[in-house]
């Protein structure tokens, strides 16, 4: 049993909470900030030491050895961290993982277990005052738990009773549309397909997922312009690219295995342009732990050019680049654009050029915050590159103009003819390990009619046609009591969502909240009238069903589908796999009216994959191909310069400049992750690459802004967001001077999520504007 004494230091002047709050946010407790100079290099020996430290501290030695030798190997365990693809060629037998991948494994496969004794000792109110880091390290959940109306402590419940409780609540709602079924990107293909099958047979398309909050903008923009919502490159393309442009992404922390691909590109003569408000170490230099000479030396320099753009200055920057390219193309035809590609494969070029000519280069450069000489250098690098890849992440998508940001990236790629040839293409770098696969499996609130038609043909029921709730729609519906049951398949919904206190109120208004989880998180502590926690197997756990040991599959950012098979015995005999949980729930809720043989599906996952093959294009011979070493790649027409748009061509777009209206005294805040964090999971309290240790309640500010505001280093301040008449406050943050553009600020999520208005989002994708939060600063008393 985990004791709180092991989770946090004894209360002292630095650790006593300043404000206990409502429990929806981590307590305002300072843990002892230490600041050092930011790193200029990533990985290397320090990453190995930190990773092994997590393994020694949280895992049993035998378990660690089993997992590390199988992680990301062909036929092994797919890392539950990011979705970066695995090498197609030989893989390191020991080190085919990164520091944060090992942190994820140490978190999932930790040796501690929590069950009825732990929850009898610790009330929900007490646990609300634990840091997110402490909650995650409490141990693996060991048995199903229920919190009845008015109760203060979770108590054990049998699986059968839990399923009946859910069925009882679902039977009492007036319509299936009064239930919300959320999905985390960790869920396997097999679990995701069964989950959406159950939800649609139940009668709703309310299937929001974590993609709504990250790359939904990418999917919207790319589907409209290229006819596909997925990236168009393979891992091999990175190796032979002439130029890789990275926008709004911090690969050293969020996708560390990408650094190996960037290293290989550089060694093959390629160049890199990095565009970001923060000069992240992962954009500058990489010491490859798999190569001792690199690890012990200076490593590989990455970015040849770093453009420090203002927050949301990407469209002005891209327009400035393309306007100079247009001038050069008109002066010397063929020097900047691939007109043969443009003529044969695209439409809308003339309208795009006409619009581009209305902008003044100097005004665009000023709006971007990037010096004109640096923009001109970028233009020369782009002109010289025959093969160019553009990568981006949430620094581009989490804006009210997120879809337009991605459209502008596509415009640049089309001008260069950088789609559908080796070493070139679009690469939205996904976060969670199967977020792309979940969407392929049908986890989507806005399914295409063709998918629903196929479900009806294969399974014999008529799925609902009305589109369901996205994540922000679901939060609003729960808040208005139009949705009364929330079911979360993995993830930490509360902490991942915008407008934390509003989201918490929405969850509290539900009749029932249910979470399928491997470990404790804050979403379990902010609950409806009744609440359930259903503990599931993790990726590292062996999955035994009636026909024997099972495998699952996932899809990477490059559309490679491969198997994953756990190697560790489950920490408790009372855990169930996600497919088994869905099957048990479906039988309890749907009963005899179901057209699906749920027992057969879950007895052998080959049956699930057979059903996927019948339903979803590209999965021919699924069971055979998924067992082949390295798996298989799904079709992507854009890779072959086939664009399944209405016209059959790729589309240029006209994206307006974002207004970016900032009043005097306001700053633009963006949410960021620390290096000891993956999504909402906090592995520790250090942000090593940025030189910030043992503290998360910090805000990074431009030093000149701090001097002007008379704010001292480490001074306590309040961050205040005002949007459409509503004031939101994040109290007691420590101000730190950092290399960030003037007028900009950065703070970690989920702590900063309280400042993000739920209704501030892209109008098309409904992705929250987590990277553009207008705030003002007040000094704490």
- pLDDT at res. 520: 97
Structure tokens at 215: 């790359």
User: Are 391 and 238 within 8 A, CB to CB?
Assistant: no
The helix-helix angle for 314-331 and 361-368 (nearest 10°) equals: 150
More confident residue, 182 or 111: 182
Question: CA nearest 431: which of 460, 393, 458?
Answer: 393
Q: Which of the two residues, 421 and 15, has the higher pLDDT score?
A: 421
Under DSSP, the state recorded for 729 is E
Collapse the DSSP code of 324 into the 3-class scheme (helix H, G, I; strand E, B; otherwise coil) and give the result. Answer: helix
Residue 526 zone, left/alpha/beta (φ > 0; ψ -120 to 50; rest)? beta
Structure confidence at residue 16 as a pLDDT band (50, 70, 90)? very low
Residues 558-574: pLDDT tens digits? 999 999 999 999 999 99
As a whole number of Å, the CA-based R_g of the chain is 25
pLDDT-based confidence at residue 15 (cuts at 50, 70, 90): very low
CA distance 237 to 91: 17
d(CA 255, CA 417): 27
592 vs 160: CA distance, rounded Å: 17
Using pLDDT thresholds of 50, 70 and 90, give the confidence band for residue 14. Answer: very low
Check pLDDT > 50 for residue 12. Answer: no
H-helix or E-strand containing 72? Answer: none
Per-residue model confidence as pLDDT tens digits over 691-730: 999 999 999 999 999 999 999 999 999 999 999 999 999 9
- Give me the pLDDT at residue 94, please: 60
- Extract the tokens encoding 610: 């057979």
436: tokens are 């792309």
Closest CA to 195 of 546, 435, 442: 442
Closest C-alpha among 726, 629, 681 to residue 131: 681
How high does pLDDT run on average in the chain? 93
Q: What is the pLDDT of residues 304-341, one digit of tens each?
A: 999 999 999 999 999 999 999 999 999 999 999 999 99
In whole angstroms, what is the distance from residue 584 CA to residue 256 CA? Answer: 38
In this prediction, residue 85 has a pLDDT band, given cuts at 50, 70 and 90, of confident
Give how far Cα 659 sits from Cα of 255, 317, 400, Å.
Answer: 31, 14, 10
What is the sign, positive or negative, of the torsion defined by CA atoms of 602, 606, 607, 612? positive
How much is the pLDDT for 64?
A: 81
Render the burial of 510-542: b for 16+ CB within 10 Å, e for the rest.
bbbbbbbbbbbbbbbbbbbbbbbbbbbbbbbbe
CA pair distance 121, 336, nearest whole angstrom: 68
- pLDDT greater than 60 at residue 13: no
Question: 210, 239 in Cβ contact below 8 A?
Answer: no
The per-residue pLDDT for 45 is 87
CA dihedral 763, 765, 768, 774 (to 10 degrees): -40
Q: How far apart are CA 154 and CA 269, in angstroms?
A: 58
pLDDT (tens digit per residue) in 633-667 = 999 999 999 999 999 999 999 999 999 999 999 99
């Amino acid at each position: 049993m985990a004791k709180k004494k092991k989770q946090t230091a004894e209360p002292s002047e630095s650790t006593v909470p300043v404000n206990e709050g409502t429990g929806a946010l981590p307590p305002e407790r300072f843990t002892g900030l230490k600041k050092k100079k930011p790193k200029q290099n990533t990985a290397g020996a320090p990453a190995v030491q930190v990773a092994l430290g997590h393994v020694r501290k949280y895992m049993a030695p035998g378990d660690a050895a089993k997992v590390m030798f199988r992680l990301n190997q062909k036929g092994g365990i797919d890392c539950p961290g990011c979705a970066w693809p695995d090498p197609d060629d030989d893989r390191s037998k020991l080190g085919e993982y990164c520091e944060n991948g090992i942190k994820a494994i140490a978190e999932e496969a930790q040796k501690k277990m929590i069950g009825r004794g732990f929850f009898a000792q610790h009330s929900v109110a007490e646990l609300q005052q634990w840091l997110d880091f402490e909650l995650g390290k409490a141990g693996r959940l060991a048995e199903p738990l229920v919190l009845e109306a008015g109760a203060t402590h979770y108590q054990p419940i049998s699986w059968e009773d839990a399923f009946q409780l859910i069925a009882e609540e679902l039977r009492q709602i007036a319509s299936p549309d009064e239930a919300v079924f959320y999905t985390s990107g960790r869920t396997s293909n097999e679990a995701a397909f069964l989950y959406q099958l159950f939800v649609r047979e139940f009668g709703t398309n309310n299937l929001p997922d974590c993609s709504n909050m990250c790359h939904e903008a990418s999917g919207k923009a790319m589907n409209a312009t290229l006819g596909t919502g997925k990236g168009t490159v393979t891992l091999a393309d990175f190796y032979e690219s002439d130029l890789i442009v990275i926008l709004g992404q911090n690969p050293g922390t969020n996708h560390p295995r990408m650094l190996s691909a960037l290293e290989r590109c550089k060694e093959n003569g390629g160049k890199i342009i990095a565009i970001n408000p923060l000069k992240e170490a992962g954009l500058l230099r990489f010491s490859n732990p798999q190569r001792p000479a690199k690890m012990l030396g200076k490593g590989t320099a990455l970015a040849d050019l770093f453009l420090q753009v203002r927050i949301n200055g990407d469209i002005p920057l891209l327009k400035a680049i393309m306007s100079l390219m247009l001038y050069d193309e008109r002066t010397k035809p063929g020097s900047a654009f691939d007109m043969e590609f443009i003529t044969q494969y695209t439409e809308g070029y003339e309208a795009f050029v006409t619009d581009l000519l209305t902008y003044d280069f100097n005004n665009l450069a000023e709006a971007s915050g990037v010096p004109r000489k640096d923009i001109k250098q970028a233009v020369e690098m782009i002109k010289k590159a025959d093969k160019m890849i553009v990568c981006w992440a949430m620094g581009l998508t989490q804006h009210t103009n997120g879809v337009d940001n991605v459209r502008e990236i596509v415009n640049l790629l089309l001008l260069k003819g950088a789609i559908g040839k080796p070493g070139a293409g679009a690469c939205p770098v996904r976060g969670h390990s199967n977020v792309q696969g979940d969407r392929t499996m049908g986890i989507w609130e806005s399914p295409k009619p063709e998918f629903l038609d196929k479900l009806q043909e294969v399974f014999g029921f008529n799925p609902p046609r009305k589109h369901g709730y996205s994540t922000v729609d679901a939060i609003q519906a729960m808040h208005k009591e139009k949705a009364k049951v929330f079911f979360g398949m993995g993830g930490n919904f509360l902490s991942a969502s915008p407008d934390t206190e509003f989201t918490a109120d929405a969850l509290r208004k539900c009749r029932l909240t249910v979470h399928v989880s491997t470990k404790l998180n804050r979403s379990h502590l902010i609950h409806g009238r009744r609440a359930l926690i259903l503990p599931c197997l993790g990726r590292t756990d062996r999955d035994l069903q009636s026909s024997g040991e099972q495998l699952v599959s996932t899809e990477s950012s490059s559309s490679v589908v491969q198997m994953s098979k756990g190697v560790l015995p489950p920490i408790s005999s009372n855990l169930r796999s996600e497919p088994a949980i869905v099957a048990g729930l479906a039988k309890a809720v749907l009963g005899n009216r179901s057209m699906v043989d749920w027992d057969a599906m879950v007895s052998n996952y080959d049956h699930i994959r057979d059903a996927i093959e019948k339903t979803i294009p590209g999965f021919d011979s699924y069971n055979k191909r998924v067992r082949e070493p390295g798996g298989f790649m799904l079709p992507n027409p854009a890779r072959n310069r086939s664009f399944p748009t209405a016209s059959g061509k790729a589309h240029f777009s006209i994206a307006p400049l974002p207004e970016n209206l900032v009043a005097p005294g306001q700053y633009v805040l963006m949410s960021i992750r620390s290096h000891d964090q993956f999504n909402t999971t906090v592995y520790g309290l250090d942000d090593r690459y940025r030189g910030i240790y043992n503290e998360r309640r910090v805000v990074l500010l431009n030093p000149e802004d701090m001097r002007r505001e008379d704010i001292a280093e480490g001074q306590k301040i309040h961050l205040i967001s005002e949007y459409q008449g509503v004031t939101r406050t994040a109290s007691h943050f420590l101000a730190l001077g950092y290399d960030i553009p003037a007028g900009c600020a950065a703070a970690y999520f989920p702590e900063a999520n309280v400042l993000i208005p739920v209704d501030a989002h892209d109008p098309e994708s409904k992705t929250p504007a987590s990277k553009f939060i207008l705030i003002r600063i007040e000094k704490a008393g």
